[in-house]
Every structure is written in C-alpha cells, then in structure tokens.
Amino acid sequence: MQEAFDRGDFLSVAEAAPAAATPEEKLLAGVSLLRIGRASEAMECFRELSGLVKKLSKAFLHMALIHRDRGEHETAVFWLERYALFYPDDDEAAALLEERGGEAPLVGDASPELARIYASQGHYGQALDIYASLREKGALEPETEREARRVQGMHVVKTLEGWLERLRP
C-alpha cells in the first residue's frame, strides 16, 4: 500500500482498503479514499483510527508515571497534558498534575501552565481562579491576560449551553 500511495496510485490503495491491517495502512487507505472523492468511506477509516488513537493515548499516562517516578517532573507534565487532551475528565490525571511527588511538584502553585491545563480539560472556573490569583500577584503578562479572557469567554459559553440544555423539554 505504501508503494502505491507513494506513486500516487490512490485508486489501488482505496481498493485495498478492506485489507488494511495496521493503523498506518488504514491512514493511507483513508487519505486515498478522500483523494478519489469517496469522503464517506474515508470518514469511516478516520473514525476507526481516531478510536484507536484514543485507546493508545493511555500510554501517555503511563509514560508520565514513569517520568514522575524518575523525578523528571517537566517531562511527566508534558505527557500528562497530552493524555488530558484525550481524557479531560480523568480525575487521576488531574490529581497527578497537582500532586507533590518527591521534592518538586508536577505542577506547582498558581501558574499560567496550570490554568492552561484546567482550561484544556474544560474546567474553566478553576482556570479563571488561577488567572485571578496571578492577576492579584501582578504576575499576569499581556499574553496570559488574553488567554484568561478567552477562557472567560469559553466559561460563559459553557454556562449558557448548560442553561439551554436544562431548558429543553
């Protein structure tokens, strides 16, 4: 499949799509199907892949735990943040981001990074509390101030959506 794809023979790759066994082959099949105008079939390939990616992203959590145990806190945060993109409601990951393991915390006290993590998980209220704390300390830079305003807007939208949902019969 890879050779046919590299040659630009997307029709051959699309015809071989049902036999795609690896994620890489499924991706080639999806892209090929899309390029020859069979978007619905391509979407099915991509949906299957996205489910697989979500399942495999659990590896990020385990990598974070290994780095935490090694005392590599910045690297642990890096992997936890990636994991949180796929599993924003995972309380274990949120706790790990706040946990104080060894000498250094994974994420320290109020910081723009912690606010971003909360915001990326949809916890806008907590993120806004952190931004407010930073503002009180005079530690809010102009770019971070803009981030806080965007998070505030997302919080308002989420609140309004919740109200609308409760109003529906």
Return the domain boundaries, the chain: 2-56, 58-167
User: What percent of the chain is modeled with pLDDT above 70?
Assistant: 93
Quote the tokens at residue 138.
Answer: 């005079």
Span 27-75, pLDDT tens digits? 999 999 999 999 999 999 999 999 999 899 999 999 999 998 898 888 8
Q: Is the pLDDT of residue 4 over 50?
A: yes
Q: Where do we find the tokens 């945060």?
A: 77
Q: Is the pLDDT of residue 16 over 90?
A: yes
Up-side HSE of residue 101: CA atoms within 13 Å toward CB?
20
In contact, 79 and 61? CB cutoff 8 Å? yes
pLDDT confidence bin for 109, thresholds 50/70/90? low
**Model pTM above 0.95:** no
Backbone angles phi, psi at 103, to 5 degrees: -85, -35
When pLDDT is averaged across residues 19-33 and rounded to a whole number, the result is: 94
Span 110-132, pLDDT tens digits? 778 888 888 888 878 878 888 88
d(CA 71, CA 64): 10
Q: Is the pLDDT of residue 8 over 90?
A: yes
* Nearest alpha-carbon partner for 23 in 60, 59, 52: 52
